[in-house]
Amino acid sequence: MTSEFDFTGKVVLITGGTRGLGRAMALGFADAGADVIVASRKTEACEATAAELRQLGVRAEGIACHVGEWDQVDALAAKAWDTFGKIDVLINNAGMSPLAPSSVETSEALFDKVIAVNLKGAFRLTALIGSKMAAGEGGSIIQISSTGALSPHPAFATYAGAKAALNAVSVAFSKEYAPKVRVNVISAGSFLTDIAEHWTDKEAMAQRAALKRIGDPREIVGTALYLASEMASYTTGANIRVDGGVA
């Protein structure tokens, strides 16, 4: 690990941090020396992931939180900050992308849940942590969005809309909390996470990418480390695609 990507002494909070892209980033930051807080809905998963991270020689905590619930997000922000005394990097990774048969068949409950998990929670946590960063030593906030927001499809229109809104509010946050806080977006493509087990068209999805394959979760880590580091000190309000070159 080069000095530019040495996160020793830094504290990273990752939502959706117990599986998929979140877990890969948690391990990546721990490998880089960071202390890590992972949040997800299940207490057991949080505790297990935190224990795994501690084996890498860093401090780690798991905090159960449903990011779609405003009060739980408030509690997460307070506990995470109080536990370590600061947050240097916030990664809003938690999300959900259920498919709907059609727009007219999208229920109000499904619509509200998708918006809450993908937009509302990230908005609230960014506001809470970002404002404290801005009042203190600064920091980096990374929103995990989706190329689905850039190329929407009827089957996931609500998800695409939520992520597109996340992209928009991230630009607003990058202006509100500047110059101490940088806020950037990673638009992720298709990755072989546990969700991929339910995909029936993996080969077709792979062929849509210029690299002709689906990504390994570890392949998002480099971009996250870069955006969190001082190597990206002049980068804010940006949206970086990590999707294998999907047209």
> Which CATH number do you get for residue 185?
3.40.50.720
Question: What is the extent of the structural domain holding 149?
Answer: 3-240
% of the chain exceeding 70 in pLDDT: 97
**Residues 140-146, mean pLDDT to the nearest whole number:** 98
pLDDT surpassing 70 at residue 1:
no
Phi and psi of 59, rounded to 5°? -80, 140
Question: What is the structure's pLDDT at 2?
Answer: 65
Query: Is residue 182 within a helix (H) or strand (E), and if so which, with residue range?
Result: strand 181-188
Whether 30 maps to a domain, the answer reads yes
How many Cβ atoms are within 10 Å of 83's Cβ, its own excluded? 16
**Closest listed residue to residue 115, CA positions, set 145, 95, 99:** 95
Yes or no: say if 20 and 188 are a contact pair by the CB < 8 Å rule.
no
What pLDDT is attached to residue 3? Answer: 83
Confirm whether 245 is domain-assigned.
no
Q: Is the pLDDT of residue 239 over 60?
A: yes
What is the pLDDT confidence band of residue 243, given thresholds at 50, 70 and 90? very high
In a domain, 247, yes or no: no
User: Which residue in the block uniquely carries the two structure tokens 């002709």?
Assistant: 212
Q: Could you tell me if residue 246 is inside a domain?
A: no
Alpha helices in 55-94 (DSSP H): 70-84
The residues, ordered by sequence, that sit 6+ positions from 212 with a Cβ below 8 Å of its Cβ are 206, 244
pLDDT at 198: 65
- Residues 65-94 have pLDDT tens digits of 999 999 999 999 999 999 999 999 999 999
Confidence of residue 199 (pLDDT cuts 50, 70, 90): low
Residue 199: count of CB within 10 angstroms of its CB:
13
Q: Could you give the angle at which helices 20-31 and 43-54 cross, rounded to 10 degrees?
A: 30
Q: 208: Cβ–Cβ under 8 A, 6 or more apart, which residues? A: 246, 247
Answer whether residue 182 is part of any domain: yes
Average pLDDT over residues 181-205: 85
Residue (of 170, 165, 171, 212) closest to 189 by Cα position:
212
For residue 209, the cross-strand partners are 246
| DSSP character at residue 245 | -
Residue 160 lies in a domain: yes
Residue whose C-alpha is closest to residue 189's, from 240, 237, 233, 228? 240
What is the average pLDDT value for the chain, to the nearest integer? 95
- Give the strand pairing for 139-146 and 11-15: unpaired
- Of 52-66, 148-162, 197-211, 232-246, least confident by mean pLDDT is 197-211
Neighbours of 122 (CB within 10 A): 30
Residues tagged active-site? 159
pTM of model > 0.85: yes
pLDDT at 176 over 70: yes
What is d(CA 142, CA 53) in angstroms, rounded to the nearest whole number?
20
Q: Is residue 216 part of a domain?
A: yes
Q: What is the mean pLDDT of residues 176-189?
A: 98
- Contact status, residue 159 vs residue 114, Cβ threshold 8 Å: yes
Closest CA to 157 of 105, 195, 103: 103
Average pLDDT over residues 12-27: 97
Q: How many domains does the chain have?
A: 1
Answer yes or no: is 15 within a domain.
yes
- Look at 197 and 141; give whichever has higher pLDDT: 141
Scan for tokens 């849940």, then name that residue. 113
Under 8 Å between Cβ of 62 and 18: yes
What is the pLDDT confidence band of residue 16, given thresholds at 50, 70 and 90?
Answer: very high
